[in-house]
Structure 1
């Protein structure tokens, strides 16, 4: 369903309260009372067959009896009545419903059955539902308070969404104290229909929303959530508190990766990939909510601490250090200005201790100096009540000075009654205030991390030296044969064969079923050798004493074979022993790493990287990320571990080949992208030695998949199926393919080649260069949401983009705006038609309904192309421009 139907819930012109009652203690009364008290600007219709009038309003016996248009029904009656009420909604043309009623799935089997009936009735009628079991919805812009909460939030630009009604009321109560305003306040309840993905999409499009705060207990429709969050977080901060960090589902893991990649770690990785800031406690959620409501995004790490007491200044500096940050070094110019206004015995350092007798005037002068200092981006202003200080007057003085400044400013008025009035002054002025330096620094760090994460997400990934090749048919055959034979764990040789099919380097591995076989294999491999147990039933070979190292002679091999077989039989008498494997002994390795993948029940496959070897699960130095990966994402994954510092070279150890490691991670990512049958995969260890890499042990777990690739992923991968070499009108063959993040340098070159006229036709304004934010938006697209094709030509000067056609879809992917730009010397040669046709074909395949775009009247080539491809061409009302539209629902 379209998210635009959510307007019926969040921007209704008329609301019916089903179950409205004059009984003050009832939910139906509270909802009606809040609508009236909030001075909702639309119509309000109480519905209850047992009353004629409530609060001065006429009461209707049923929805059908209202006889006037209604957008939203707020249902407060018992949940068993809801399916029938939704049928009334359908008959009355009501498009949205808030089901406050509890007793759904939280009540057990009977509640689940009721929810199924509610969902069926809503889907049949096209009604959007918030709830059941929710507090309701607030839109302060419309003065709509369709909740049974005790208060109306203050107006603002922060949107808050929570699965917990109790968290909603707690946040609301605190927001009134801290003077934080909200644009939307949403209790989402059981998410039978409207979920977090829907709301992020909807609120992301609302100019009245500057940032979004979420309290999440569980998610649904994970791919939609990731798509929405990745799109919206680029333009609006999203902060989330996700409850439920316990690890319960990893005890039966068959691999190191399965044991290490716990569910909460996967949520962390998903939120990070989506650009979401995750907080850990209710207190932190409060602090971030306040910060986003009142402060601009931090512009950098240049933090100054101003204090009238040394101890709190040290506490603030220590808190910064805990996050790997330091107070900014003050420039000589700043020091000189401070010397001129401070007593000679001030700290002469940052933190700036302006001493216990600091007057409001001294605070003001110091802050003025810091505001003008170019090295300072963030200011922490601390006051402790002392006999010579005046917290209230100081707060008043600073508020007038700080109003409208673009710096990130945090105040810490420490104490009790003496500082309360100062705190209230800051809250009323929209300046964040905290009770301790640690809380202020922590809140700052979250928002600074968000800003840094946005920078990283918008960086351009470097291209690989050459296109990677994979033996996908060979890998497919190997997996299919194993599953057909009922094998859900590949043997080590089979696992290595699968890795090798995707270009991941493995060592030579020979299978032997007897002592003589083992000796022959050792001769083929070359001494010294390693021998390992070969069995599907023994996954951790070292635990079964199934690994023998550095075997140098035939007799060593024979003795090792006998020992391994005996130990394996004792370790697991029921195990099916297939023999042993014989492999070359790498006598020296620079680094031992673990690479792996686990198929998470919610987010699909995740990639793991970290310190490898037998102590992997003890050291727990690893990080995880969601596929697909590119070189930049692979680097970020490695940078999140301690072993990455070693890989750059340490003492007498040479640096590892990080470019090769990038490539191996990308190849591993592609393997799990292509095969949803892979449930767990371990490469442990991957040895890095002499500038190379070698997987010396591997384990792969399989299971049949009900979902084909790539729908098992929560992030849509590059759609290589749309690549094609095509001959255009001039007889030249070009490669037409979807755009890639790595195309950014080629896109810059294309833009630089365009004439001012071509640029104006594309952007409707002069654009001298493509800023990094725009470049990232154009190249790092969500392949589920947007469509963009480039035409590439390889000539003697290298590869270049001849043109780009793109469709920018609305959040529900039913409508899309098109744009086309072609290199000047290639216009009129069929490149634009080819690329736009490909976009239209993909749009039809995805079920889009409409493509549209505005074209300047001077752009006669684009108008002609539109007519050729079947677009209708009409003047835009009250404009000289034309709108081109094509209805894809028609044959």
Structure 2
């Protein structure tokens, strides 16, 4: 049995936001373990050992000191070098259930120490092949029984007199993940309170002369109406810009909850250590240029002393809540108060968003410039906005993802309650990696990020301008029910351009129903047309235009209304009156209305309406159309029920894991599996391949052909050697071999051209006709496993008709994979051809997803072509590559 050795200690948050260190316990901990138990009250000792004995502490310490034996594992939780909790399991050889115990130091109860330890112990146990925990407790020990119950795992109890026996199944299902997520969210938000709602702030590095970053931040805090206590730290000055200054951190009259560090890089870690010693709870480091040693020292100080960190190399942070008013940035203007939460990695992007949101009147609730993102991340900020009671719009600019799968899970939850928007940065082909297989070639960074955004319900735009365009619409208007847009214009040409922009953005401009057309024409001036676009003519008046828009915005066949107005010299109303027709409608409309005003100077503005709301106005129809398209996509995502990952009862997970382990023991560097091993692995997941035979020489190839030849007697021969991936490109296969002489000639040709490199050939029957598809998995080092699907065959990379989703795939993810590629009509029956077996295709994708989830060692799986027809799906060629990689639970609670 594997021991599930933990690679390195990690830090994690307790329920009260305290940071503790989780590490493996061993012989060096003998004294600390004994001290842990000796310091316990008699009552707690009795609950732990069922009796009070002077030898209990010594025996417990000796058990941990003998750690390292097979089947035993001990994890310690420590704070500031002191042991505050211990969890152990021990399993007998050949068993899959481990007995566990957990102990928490007096004074540390009810803070989540035991729960956190058990989460990490369960993760180690799963890696070691353990399927369940068992534990005995006194029935009166309500605290430990509650810990087991609240884990989120399935627990069964058996009472036997004063004792109770608990069995805990370690299956990591949705219930467990939700419980872990809820605990992590609570702890995370509490830990961010000193950072984002600090009661005391100290600025370290504010110079006496204007011009320094530190002084700019101090001035912004002071002038921004910060409602709480503010200090400065300066080695010489008694005051800076009217703020009381102390010579050092240790001299501060009150321990600040937040310390802002704006010092040269070489001084940052030392000052961070000083802050930690006096009890500072959070750091904002705007300094840039830290080297590796300085960065490591900074993080070490933060983790040892339990300080949350924003930065380094950042613009700062701000909170506009009425009882905070903290502007700890060096931006030129104070952030306007509002309801948008903003987190960025780029300071320049942050300033652009702050200015844009202020100009639109949306403002911000909380702004955080993440900088180099050593600690606090976009995931943290999403959880803060979800619970802060002030945010209804989340804007992100992330250049990297520390834990994309945890981020995706958080974003998916948050996006159900508020729009989450981001800029899809880094889309260029310059970021594309070299790949060894079709799967890896298809899985570009752009495709991977887009899969993350799509599955999580994140609205991803291509530019900062488009982000603000969409934010304005989502802030001001209801979501559309679909993609059908009615275009209204007082100039025919402008209406046509607006309609074209909508179609280009993926929206629909449907012909209006005859009855609706008649109603519109009855409202509008002579010469108007109402087919869609609706040309109201240059003679339209304010009341006529308002009635037209109101009618369209309430009609069941219209999902949104785009109104394009240009100034003319013949209108019965002025340009201002026409705009007023948009903003003076009595009461809110059920569908979104947007304006396009080419004469408008700003790219987008929010026009105040009579009812107290706002209406977005764009200077360009393309901007308005793309904003509407993003709103329609969000509405569609919200309308869909969350998908489910189906159960696959016939999967042989243990056998697959054993195969991967055995292969990597024989090939420590990893590599491509041979055809036989590939077939066994795919067979563990019920992935069907066309019949084939392995042949080592010419005679075996002829015998194989005789066995496999179908009714027409034709076969295919493929060369094989380790590392061969693209057989077609290297002309390493022969098709349509019809008799023994052709088989012999083909084999001799392959031997002549490839010589000793070739270790054998694969002989298959010639497949029947069908739709050639491509399916595969690539294990992204950052994002985890990605399932890729699309058009297959030799031109798969040339045509690049692929879609991708991150595993694990839900039923909705699989549906999206099947319908997203341009080739999807071929699957559903195109031009009278029969539809393929969609159920079998869905199963193939689910099984690939499960294989990727089970095997972190799976670097690539490349199934191409996959032949799909009305009667099933068959893999004609498959390649699988394994690499050494430890299992990594992305949902396990730990800090970066």
Question: What is the match of residue 401 of structure 2?
Answer: 219
Question: What is the match of residue 359 of structure 2?
Answer: 177
1:703 aligns with 2:703: no
Give unpaired runs (5+ residues) of structure 2: 1-12, 14-186
Verify the 8 A CA contact 1:14 1:44 in the aligned structure 2: yes
Pick aligned residue for 1:370 from 538, 552, 556: 552
Question: What is the match of residue 532 of structure 1?
Answer: 718
Partners of 1:346 and 1:386 lie apart in 2 by 16
Verify the 8 A CA contact 1:301 1:328 in the aligned structure 2: no
Partners of 2:894 and 2:631 lie apart in 1 by 31
Question: Offset of 1:301 from its aligned partner?
Answer: 2.8
Question: For the structure 1 residues 416 and 481, does the alpha-carbon distance in structure 2 shift closer, same or farther, using more than 3 Å as the test?
Answer: closer
Question: What is the match of residue 584 of structure 1?
Answer: 765
Question: What is the match of residue 802 of structure 2?
Answer: 622
Residue 543 of structure 1 aligns to a residue in which SS?
coil
Question: Offset of 1:368 from its aligned partner?
Answer: 3.0
Question: Offset of 1:161 from its aligned partner?
Answer: 1.0
Partners of 1:422 and 1:197 lie apart in 2 by 30
Question: What is the match of residue 552 of structure 1?
Answer: 738
Pick aligned residue for 2:632 from 424, 448, 468: 448
Question: For the structure 1 residues 249 and 336, does the alpha-carbon distance in structure 2 shift closer, same or farther, using more than 3 Å as the test?
Answer: closer
Pick aligned residue for 2:230 from 22, 32, 44: 44
Verify the 8 A CA contact 1:158 1:292 in the aligned structure 2: no
Question: What is the match of residue 727 of structure 1?
Answer: none
Partners of 1:813 and 1:251 lie apart in 2 by 29
Verify the 8 A CA contact 1:395 1:422 in the aligned structure 2: no
Partners of 1:420 and 1:615 lie apart in 2 by 42
Question: For the structure 1 residues 138 and 328, does the alpha-carbon distance in structure 2 shift closer, same or farther, using more than 3 Å as the test?
Answer: farther
Question: What is the match of residue 503 of structure 2?
Answer: 321
Pick aligned residue for 1:498 from 669, 677, 681: 681
Verify the 8 A CA contact 2:689 2:874 in the aligned structure 1: yes
Pick aligned residue for 1:301 from 458, 471, 483: 483
Question: Offset of 1:652 from its aligned partner?
Answer: 5.2
Question: What is the match of residue 476 of structure 1?
Answer: 657
Question: For the structure 1 residues 421 and 89, does the alpha-carbon distance in structure 2 shift closer, same or farther, using more than 3 Å as the test?
Answer: closer
Partners of 1:153 and 1:275 lie apart in 2 by 27
Question: What is the match of residue 264 of structure 2?
Answer: 78
Question: Offset of 1:562 from its aligned partner?
Answer: 0.6
Partners of 1:378 and 1:294 lie apart in 2 by 13
Partners of 2:327 and 2:624 lie apart in 1 by 32
Pick aligned residue for 1:613 from 754, 768, 793: 793
Structure 2 matches for 1:338-737, cutoff 5 A? 338-387=520-569, 388=571, 390-401=574-585, 404-415=588-599, 430-456=614-640, 458-459=641-642, 467-486=648-667, 488-526=671-709, 527-569=713-755, 576-586=757-767, 588-651=768-831, 653-705=833-885, 707-708=886-887, 711=889
Partners of 1:291 and 1:515 lie apart in 2 by 69
Partners of 1:548 and 1:26 lie apart in 2 by 72
Residue 272 of structure 1 aligns to a residue in which SS?
helix
Verify the 8 A CA contact 1:269 1:624 in the aligned structure 2: yes
Verify the 8 A CA contact 1:52 1:60 in the aligned structure 2: yes
Question: Offset of 1:610 from its aligned partner?
Answer: 0.9
Partners of 2:208 and 2:881 lie apart in 1 by 62
Verify the 8 A CA contact 1:122 1:128 in the aligned structure 2: yes
Residue 309 of structure 2 aligns to a residue in which SS?
strand
Question: Offset of 1:134 from its aligned partner?
Answer: 0.8
Verify the 8 A CA contact 2:604 2:617 in the aligned structure 1: no
Report the TM-score, using the length of structure 2 for normalisation.
Answer: 0.74
Verify the 8 A CA contact 1:590 1:653 in the aligned structure 2: no
Residue 217 of structure 1 aligns to a residue in which SS?
coil
Partners of 2:692 and 2:425 lie apart in 1 by 46
Pick aligned residue for 1:117 from 290, 297, 301: 297
Residue 244 of structure 1 aligns to a residue in which SS?
coil
Question: Offset of 1:397 from its aligned partner?
Answer: 4.8
Pick aligned residue for 1:96 from 282, 286, 289: 282
Partners of 2:894 and 2:300 lie apart in 1 by 23
Partners of 1:671 and 1:371 lie apart in 2 by 49
Question: What is the match of residue 235 of structure 1?
Answer: 417
Residue 246 of structure 2 aligns to a residue in which SS?
coil
Once the two structures are superposed, what CA deviation does each residue of 1:47-93 show, in whole Å capped at 9, x if it has no partner?
22322223333222233323235221111222222222223322332
Tell me the number of residue pairs that the alignment of Structure 1 and Structure 2 aligns: 699
Question: What is the match of residue 195 of structure 1?
Answer: 377
Question: For the structure 1 residues 411 and 249, does the alpha-carbon distance in structure 2 shift closer, same or farther, using more than 3 Å as the test?
Answer: closer
Verify the 8 A CA contact 1:594 1:612 in the aligned structure 2: yes
Partners of 2:497 and 2:438 lie apart in 1 by 40
Once the two structures are superposed, what CA deviation does each residue of 1:562-621 show, in whole Å capped at 9, x if it has no partner?
11222224xxxxx631121111122x2221111111111211111111111111111111
Question: What is the match of residue 310 of structure 2?
Answer: 130
1:148 aligns with 2:330: yes
Verify the 8 A CA contact 1:631 1:663 in the aligned structure 2: no
Partners of 1:57 and 1:27 lie apart in 2 by 16
Question: For the structure 1 residues 374 and 251, does the alpha-carbon distance in structure 2 shift closer, same or farther, using more than 3 Å as the test?
Answer: closer
Question: Offset of 1:235 from its aligned partner?
Answer: 1.4
Question: What is the match of residue 241 of structure 2?
Answer: 55
Question: What is the match of residue 57 of structure 2?
Answer: none
Verify the 8 A CA contact 2:203 2:214 in the aligned structure 1: yes
Verify the 8 A CA contact 1:545 1:567 in the aligned structure 2: no
Question: What is the match of residue 18 of structure 2?
Answer: none
Question: Offset of 1:624 from its aligned partner?
Answer: 0.9
- Name which of structure 1's ranges 333-342 and 227-236 shifts more when overlaid on structure 2: 333-342
Verify the 8 A CA contact 2:814 2:842 in the aligned structure 1: yes
CA RMSD of aligned residues (A): 2.6
Verify the 8 A CA contact 1:545 1:568 in the aligned structure 2: no
Partners of 1:559 and 1:422 lie apart in 2 by 74
Question: Offset of 1:19 from its aligned partner?
Answer: 2.0
Question: What is the match of residue 182 of structure 2?
Answer: none
Partners of 1:158 and 1:489 lie apart in 2 by 49
Partners of 1:537 and 1:213 lie apart in 2 by 45
Question: Offset of 1:661 from its aligned partner?
Answer: 0.8
Residue 585 of structure 2 aligns to a residue in which SS?
helix
Verify the 8 A CA contact 2:261 2:286 in the aligned structure 1: yes
Question: Offset of 1:216 from its aligned partner?
Answer: 1.4
Verify the 8 A CA contact 2:716 2:734 in the aligned structure 1: yes
Once the two structures are superposed, what CA deviation does each residue of 1:686-705 show, in whole Å capped at 9, x if it has no partner?
11235122111111111111
Partners of 1:290 and 1:548 lie apart in 2 by 59
Residue 190 of structure 1 aligns to a residue in which SS?
coil
Question: What is the match of residue 387 of structure 2?
Answer: 205
Question: For the structure 1 residues 263 and 416, does the alpha-carbon distance in structure 2 shift closer, same or farther, using more than 3 Å as the test?
Answer: closer
Give unpaired runs (5+ residues) of structure 1: 105-110, 570-574, 717-783, 785-811, 815-891
Verify the 8 A CA contact 1:482 1:488 in the aligned structure 2: no
Verify the 8 A CA contact 1:135 1:148 in the aligned structure 2: yes
Partners of 1:680 and 1:623 lie apart in 2 by 16
Verify the 8 A CA contact 2:605 2:616 in the aligned structure 1: no
Verify the 8 A CA contact 1:391 1:413 in the aligned structure 2: no
Partners of 2:237 and 2:508 lie apart in 1 by 66
Partners of 1:314 and 1:600 lie apart in 2 by 44
Question: For the structure 1 residues 218 and 422, does the alpha-carbon distance in structure 2 shift closer, same or farther, using more than 3 Å as the test?
Answer: closer
Partners of 2:763 and 2:581 lie apart in 1 by 78
Pick aligned residue for 2:254 from 45, 48, 68: 68
Question: Offset of 1:434 from its aligned partner?
Answer: 0.8
Question: What is the match of residue 828 of structure 1?
Answer: none
